[in-house]
Structure 1
Amino acid sequence: MKNSAPGATASIEEAVGTAIKEQRLRLGLTIAQVSDQASISRGMFSKIENGQTSAGMETLTRIALALGVSMSSLFSKYDVAPTKAQHIKKGRGMEVVRRGTKSGHTYHLLAYDQGPVKLFEPFLITMDDDSERYPTFQHPGTELLYMLEGKIEYRCGQDTYLLEPGDSLTFQGEVPHGPEKMIKFPIKYLCFIVYPRGVE
C-alpha cells in the first residue's frame, strides 16, 4: 500500500521505481529500450517504474543489468540511512521470486543492501505445500540456512541433509543446491547469502 500523505515515507515499490527511472533518464534510454533489453513487457516495466507493482528478484536483476547497475543500487532511494540500522517490521520484508519458484514458496528479503556492491542477502523462506518441483540454484558466495520450523531434506551437490528446527547448513553457492523433499509442513527457514567482494 502506498503512502500518499505529504512527507510520508515512500514504499519499497515507489523507492525502487524512482531509482530505476532516475538511472534510465540519466542514460537517456526510453522505457521501450530498457524493457526490451530486460525481456519484460513495456506495460509491466512502466508499472514497476511508477511504483505500482512489486517486481521479483529475477526481474529486478534483469532491469539492473539493462541499466548497467547492481541490483542493490535499485534500493538506494529506500528511506534507510546507510549509517543507521535497518528495521524491517514483521511481514514488511519485500516479497521476491527466485527463478523457478511458484506458489507455496515464499521468499521475503529481510534487508536492503545500500552500498554500490552487493555484500549479502538475508531471506525468510516459507513453504506450505509440495505441489511443485523444486528448482536447483547456483550463485557466487557462501550460503547459510537456519531451520526455524518444519522438516526438509535439502540437497547440496551429491549429498542430502535432513534439516529440523535449530539445524544449520553452510555451503558454497556455486555447488548446485535446493530443496529435495518436504517432510513436515509448514516449513520455515532463514537463508543468508554472503557474496565475495566485487560481485555486482
Structure 2
Amino acid sequence: MATPSNTASADIAPVMSDSDARSLGRHLGNVIRQIRLQHGLTIADISERASISRGMLSKIENGLVSTSLETLEQIANALGVTLSRLFRDYNIQTSSAQLVKHGQGMEVVRRGTKRGHTYHLLAYDQGPKKTFEPFLITLEDPGEEFPPFEHSGTEFIHMLEGEVEYKVGNETFLLQPGDSLTFRGEQPHRPERLVSAPVKFLSIIHHDFPDTPEE
C-alpha cells in the first residue's frame, strides 16, 4: 500500500485555486464523515482499513488538509463506495428540495448484512449532523439470519410488501403491508423471520445530536 500524502494530487492541483481546494476539502471531509457514520463505523475502523493514521483521517474529515487521489481511493474502498461517490455532489446548485428518482437511491451496506439484504438511502448530503435517514430496505432470502442492530435515535418502519416477524427487545411483531412500527434504536432489533418474501419496507431513523462524531 502506498504511503499517504498530505499534498494535493498533481492531477487536480494545477486547475484549482487555494479557495477551491479548501472548498473541495471541506466537501470531501463532510461526505467521508457522513458515509462513515451511516455505516456505523468509527475513525479507527476506517483508518485501519485504509492504512492511514487516525489523526490524518480526522484532519481530512474536518477539511484541515488536502490529500492525494490515491489516499482518497483508499478511504473510499474502506467505506465500501466508489471514488466518484465522494465527489458526486460537489459544486452543484443547492435547492430547498431533494428528489431521488425511483431506483436511484444510493445503495449502502451495513455491517452484518448479506446478499439479498439491501439498503437504499433515499435522502443524503445533509451535512455531518443529519436529522434523519430514510432507507428503502429489501429482504429476499427467507433463510437469512439477521444480527441484532442497535443505534441512537428513533426508528420508524412502514411495511410495503411481504410479511416479516420483526423483533424489538423481547417483543416480536408481525408486520404486513400498511403496518407501521416505531421504537427507540438503542433496543436490539432485527427481522426475526421472513414470513412471505420478498419483504420491502421503509425505515426512517430520526437521529439525536451527538456533540462530536464517534471516534
Instruction: With the length of structure 1 as denominator, give the TM-score of the two structures.
Output: 0.65
Tell whether 2:174 aligns with 1:162: yes
Q: CA deviation at 1:159?
A: 0.4
CA contact (8 A) 2:142 2:197 kept: no
Residue 182 of structure 1: aligned partner? 194
Q: CA deviation at 1:113?
A: 4.2
Seen in structure 2, the aligned counterparts of structure 1 residues 87 and 36 have a Cα distance that, compared at 3 Å, is closer
Pairwise CA RMSD of aligned residues? 3.8
Residue 113 of structure 2: aligned partner? 101
CA radius of gyration, larger in: 2
Amino acid in structure 1 at the alignment position of 2:178: G
Seen in structure 2, the aligned counterparts of structure 1 residues 80 and 97 have a Cα distance that, compared at 3 Å, is farther
Secondary structure at the counterpart of residue 28 of structure 2: helix
Question: Partners in 1 of 2:31 and 2:201 — Cα distance?
Answer: 36
Q: Which of 109, 119, 139 in structure 1 is aligned with 2:151?
A: 139
Secondary structure at the counterpart of residue 124 of structure 1: strand
Seen in structure 2, the aligned counterparts of structure 1 residues 134 and 22 have a Cα distance that, compared at 3 Å, is closer
Q: CA deviation at 1:99?
A: 1.1
Deviations 1:151-179 (A, max 9, x none): 00000000000000000000000000010
Question: Partners in 2 of 1:95 and 1:144 — Cα distance?
Answer: 19
Q: Which of 116, 126, 133 in structure 1 is aligned with 2:138?
A: 126
Residues paired across the two proteins, number = 159
Seen in structure 2, the aligned counterparts of structure 1 residues 103 and 37 have a Cα distance that, compared at 3 Å, is closer
Seen in structure 2, the aligned counterparts of structure 1 residues 74 and 144 have a Cα distance that, compared at 3 Å, is farther
Q: CA deviation at 1:135?
A: 1.3
Q: Between the two proteins, what is the percent identity of the paired residues?
A: 46
Seen in structure 2, the aligned counterparts of structure 1 residues 124 and 22 have a Cα distance that, compared at 3 Å, is closer
Secondary structure at the counterpart of residue 49 of structure 2: coil
Q: CA deviation at 1:79?
A: 3.8
Q: Which runs of 5+ in 1 are unaligned?
A: 1-14, 24-33, 61-72
Residue 84 of structure 1: aligned partner? 96
CA contact (8 A) 2:30 2:128 kept: no
Instruction: With the length of structure 2 as denominator, give the TM-score of the two structures.
Output: 0.61
Q: CA deviation at 1:80?
A: 6.2
Q: CA deviation at 1:132?
A: 2.5
